[in-house]
Amino acid sequence: MLDALTFDAGSTLTPDYMLMLDSRDITGNISDRLMSMILTDNRGFEADQLDIELNDADGQVGLP
């Protein structure tokens, strides 16, 4: 899995993303807790899948 790219100058590239929930941008709400995000793009009419793993080490993330 590719997490980040490092170039000779020492700069690091990371993926850019935006998460929407009910037409609201929730990216800022989870960006500090995001550990991984995996998008599975299935063929045809099979539903795609997005798996999001959040850090809840402090126990402050509420259950859905």
Q: How many CA atoms lie within 13 A of 54 on its CB side?
A: 15
What does the buried/exposed string (b/e) look like for 15-33 if buried means 16 or more CB atoms within 10 Å of the residue's CB? Answer: eeeebeeeeeeeeeeeeee
Query: What's at 58, amino acid-wise?
Result: D
Kindly report the pTM of this predicted structure: 0.68
**Cα-flanking dihedrals φ and ψ of residue 52, to 5°?**
-120, 130
- How many whole angstroms from its chain centre is CA 61? 15
Q: Which residue has the higher pLDDT, 63 or 18?
A: 18
> What does the pLDDT look like over 5-62, one tens digit per residue?
666 677 777 788 999 999 999 999 999 999 999 999 999 999 999 999 999 999 999 8
pLDDT, position 42 = 96
